[in-house]
Every structure is written in C-alpha cells, then in structure tokens.
A and B are shown apart, each in its own frame.
Chain A
Amino acid sequence: MALRLLTRNLRNRISPNLCSASLLHSHATSFGFKEVREEEKSQMVGKVFSNVASNYDLMNDFMSAGLHRLWKDRLVSKLSPFPGMKHLDVAGGTGDVAFRILESINSIRRRALQDPINDDLQEETRIYVCDINQNMLNVGKNRALERGLGEDKSLVWVQGDAEALSFEDNSMDGYTIAFGIRNVTHIEKVLTEAYRVLKRGGRFLSLELSHVEIPVFKELYDLYSFSVIPRLGEVVAGDRESYQYLVESIRRFPPQEKFASMIADAGFQKVEYENLVGGVVAIHSGLKI
C-alpha cells in the first residue's frame, strides 16, 4: 500500500501534466474496454441509452438491489434543497433526483416550519432536468405525469449537452449529476460548464459508481459486475451489450481521489467525497466561491 502511494506520488511529481492529459484522452476515447474515436463515443453512448431507456429504472432496481434509491436519497439530503432554489440536474433523464428534490422542498413538514412569506418563494423554485437523450427525457416526463407532477411548473425538461449547457453563467444554486459523468466524452468540459452555471455559494454534487479498494469485497464486486450484470441485462432488458458497456465504463472512470482533484482543477473549493457501500458508489461535492 505504501509502495503504491509512493509510486503514485513520484509519478505525479515527475509528469503530472503528462499523466492527467493521457488519462483524460483515454477516457474520451474509451467505450468501456473498447477503443473508439472521440467523435464516435457520444453517438455510441447515445445508442446505449436509447436502448435502455424504457427499462432503465427496472434494471437499476435489479442491479443495485434497490440500493440506488438510498443513494439518491443521500445525494439529495447532502444537497439541502431550499424553496426558491434554481437547480440543474444533468443527465437526469428519468427524473429520479429531480423528483426527490422537489418533494424535499414541498414536504409538509418543511412547510410547517416556515414563515408564511416563504410561500411565494416556493413558486420560484425551478428544477431543470437536462439530458442529451430525448428518449430518457420522455420516460421522465411520463413518470412525472404518473406522480401528479405533470402540471408543476417547477419541473422543466430540457434536452442538452452537459459539455455545452444552454444556461446562463451564475444562474444555478445547485448542480447534480447522478450516474452520468461516467458517460460523457470530456469530463473536464462538463466540470467547467458546471462551474460556469453555478452561482457563488452554489454546490456541485456528483453521484457515481466508483472504485472499491477493500480486499475481499473487491473480488466479489468484480465477480458480480462481470458475471451477473450483463446476464441480467440479457434476461431482463434483452440487451447484453449495453450492460457490458456499463460495467466496463465503471472500471475506466478515474478513481475517487483523481476525480476529486479534477473537480478542484475546475475551480471548485472544499472538494470532498463520501464512499457508500465501501466505494461501489461515491458522492463527490464541491463549492463554488
């Protein structure tokens, strides 16, 4: 362990630029374990999500044994939403995080504690759900209708690219990206855009599948990922390839510390991360000041 840290430190000192540039390049041209051209990656990811859109939530439940709900709950509680908030949920296609935020703001318990003057603030709340894939957004809109949030003007569905957002500078109080940053072509562009649209005091939160280091658990997790999940994809969703991509892309994504330093590079301060389930999932957070 000490040796690994030592070599890592040495490597960082000797060629930091070389190392991070090559890592980013390798992310931009990796589609799971396959090598692809940068321009193609976006298209290929798009195809994956068009395929999985209709079964996305069901598969999430299966693969994580329902735990993804708890993870998203944790993400939203870390965010601490407030009435009148302008929030952007990127890659939030089917709306899980957005619904939770809205419900947290509107909860009766919260309302009971508030000043009456805050009620009109409630009206100003806007949760923007941005996704590059229209199919995912459509699924999300349908789910909103089912939950009775169809007419709620707080929820705004926008199609857009995380690397080139259509929102103004300093316009958002919060930015979340749940299980999305793994799929983008250029991570640093997404982080820069996130920094741009956030106001002073705004927070960036990312929930993502990450790296497990605990000895025995790591082997079990790898076994589960590579043997069970693609098979599950085949049986439940009829699409083995997409789920193979999923588990491979997790392994190619930078580990917790590296991703945290990338977030800091984009200009965020107080960058922290919290491991859930031993590192299977990590919530990274940063503050824009």
Chain B
Amino acid sequence: MYRTVVNRILLSGGSRRLPKYPDIRTVISSSRFSTTTQPQTVLNPSGSSTSSSSSTNFQTSSAAGDVPRHERNNPRAEYEGEQARVLQASLRHVIRLGWSEEAMIAGAKEVGISPSIVGSFPRKEAALVEFFMDDCLQRLIDRIDSGEELQNLTPSQRIYKLVRIRLEMQAPYISKWSQALSIQAHPLNVSTSFKQRAMLIDEIWHAAGDETYDLDWYVKRTVLGGIYSTTEIYMLTDSSPEFRDTWLFLDNRVKDAFDLKKTIQEAKYLAEAVGAGMGSSLQVFVGRVLQR
C-alpha cells in the first residue's frame, strides 16, 4: 500500500509531468568473456556528469530517476530534444511504413536532421514505440488533470472512461498496432514495456480513486491490467464503426470485474470443480494403493 502513497507523492509533487521518453536510461552492465557490452556515456567535457547506458543482448531495466536533474537543463544534452523531435515526426509516418527504421528515417528527414541519428537509438523501433506509449500516457494525464468529466461518475464508470480515452489514442495506428505489440513483447524490450504499462494502470487507478473495495493493491493492478490488455487485443480485430464493439466489450469486462458477487460465485464454482477433480483422482489413487 505504501507504494501507492509514494507514487502519489512523486506524481503530484509539483507539475504532473511524468519523465519524458529521453529519461529512460538503463543501468546494467554484465560481461561475457567473448563479447562484452559496457558502453559508458560521457556527456560533459568537464567530466562532471557521467551516466551509463547499456547496449544490446541483455534485458534492460529502466530507472526513470537515473538522470541527475541538472543534466536535463544542461544545454549540452540537447541531443535528447532532437531525438524526441525526430520520434515525434516519425509517428506521422508509422501508418504508412510501420513501426520501423524506415519510418524513423522518414521522420528524421522531415525534421531536417541526418537519418544517421536513427543509429543512435539503442533499440530503434522499440524507441519509437516507447516514445508513443509515454506520449499517450502524458496526454492521458493531461486529460485527467484538466477534465471535470470524471467528477460525477462511479469508479467503474471512471475506469471505463479512462481506458476508452487511452485506447482511442491508439485508434489511428490500429492497422500497425499488432506490430507495435510484437515489438513490445520482444525479450529485449519486455521490461521497459511492462514498466510503461504498469505506470499506465497506476495512473488510471489513481484517477479512478481506489478507496472503494477492500481488495489488495496488486490484485487491483492485475485486474485492470487484464481488462486493458484484453480490450486492446480485441480492438485489433474490431471492424465495427468507431470501435463500438470494443467499447461494449470493455464495458462488460469492467462490469464483470466490479461485480463482486459474481466474482465470488465464480471463484466458488472454480474451487468446487477443482476439488471435485482432485478429490476423484485422489480417491482412485488411494484405491489403487490400497489394492496392492
């Protein structure tokens, strides 16, 4: 429970900007004898700030707080701004070219920067997808902060609304979204995408107000994570106008999750079924043993 509190303090202190894409730094160094990857970054000529970022081959974990504050305002760190500009422009080409290097090259050309910069992104297409996820999360936070639309709704309605708002941001890219999902599922990228999704779920729960039920915090996260993911995947194959079927699906899932009585009933049925199955096989087993 204290994690929610900590998150609230972190997120609500000052402006509610979550760390933008460029702050996803990775701090890992592991070496094998034959090929070692230990890139080190030296940003400042005076040598005052150094941060390490890891290269390929190993799972990366992102720690958003890694970059010291002063570095973000440091004019020498402007390459991060340029990288963000390139990624922003690349998003416009995703619909045509997919979440790929080609889209990023087109984006770089649009912004007037040499496409060589694409090579400086550690996991190229993943960088684009992660940028998009962060961007959407930021837009969601902005909507939450500005919108009074959530005031008069019950928690389940709020969750429905928030998940719907978030998924609608993906609607323009839906034709290529399955590619994005596969990129996120790649072993190299899985930990970052998991963290991004966890942040998203946290944000939605926080906005929906989580004082209602007496469920455990992790269970809540998991349940909402399940609702979100299943709806996202449903959306991939939905061809109804304006994704009407998806929203219906979402509505049903949210209702299911919040219908405590139904959940308890289902849990009871499951327990009975398992018990029956186990009980009968246990009986047979004991019978066989005794027969000897």
Contacts and interface: CB of A to CB of B under 8 A. Distances in A.
Nearest to B80: A270
Contacts of A198: 114
B114 A270 contact: no
A272 B79 contact: no
B15 interface: no
Interface of A: 12, 78-80, 82, 85, 113-115, 173-174, 198-203, 256-257, 260-261, 263-265, 269-279, 285, 287, 289
A103 B272 CA distance: 64
A190 B33 CA distance: 32
Interface string B31-49: 1011111111111110100
Contacts of B78: 269, 289
Contact of A12 (B37, B47, B53, B114): B47
Contact of A203 (B33, B117, B124): B117
Contact of A269 (B34, B79, B113): B79
B101 interface: yes
A117 to B, nearest CB: 11
B116 A271 contact: no
B119 interface: yes
B40 A79 contact: no
A212 to B, nearest CB: 11
Contacts of A257: 40, 42
A260 B40 contact: yes
B180 interface: no
Contacts of B129: none
B108 interface: yes
B155 interface: no
A289 B22 CA distance: 15
A279 B34 CA distance: 10
Interface in B77-129: 77-79, 82, 86, 97, 100-102, 105, 108, 112-120, 124
Contact of A264 (B34, B45, B116): B45
A200 B45 CA distance: 19
Interface residues of B, number: 39
B76 interface: yes
Contacts of A113: 100, 102
A277 B41 contact: no
A253 B76 CA distance: 27
**The 4 residue pairs across chains A and B that have the minimum distance between CB atoms:** A80-B119, A201-B114, A201-B113, A201-B117
28 contacts: A80-B101, A80-B119, A82-B115, A113-B102, A173-B114, A173-B116, A200-B114, A201-B82, A201-B116, A202-B114, A202-B116, A203-B117, A203-B119, A203-B120, A264-B44, A269-B43, A269-B78, A269-B79, A272-B53, A274-B37, A274-B39, A274-B55, A275-B38, A277-B35, A278-B31, A278-B33, A287-B120, A289-B79
Given A80-B124, A274-B38, A200 B43 contact: no
Contacts of B40: 256-257, 260, 272-273
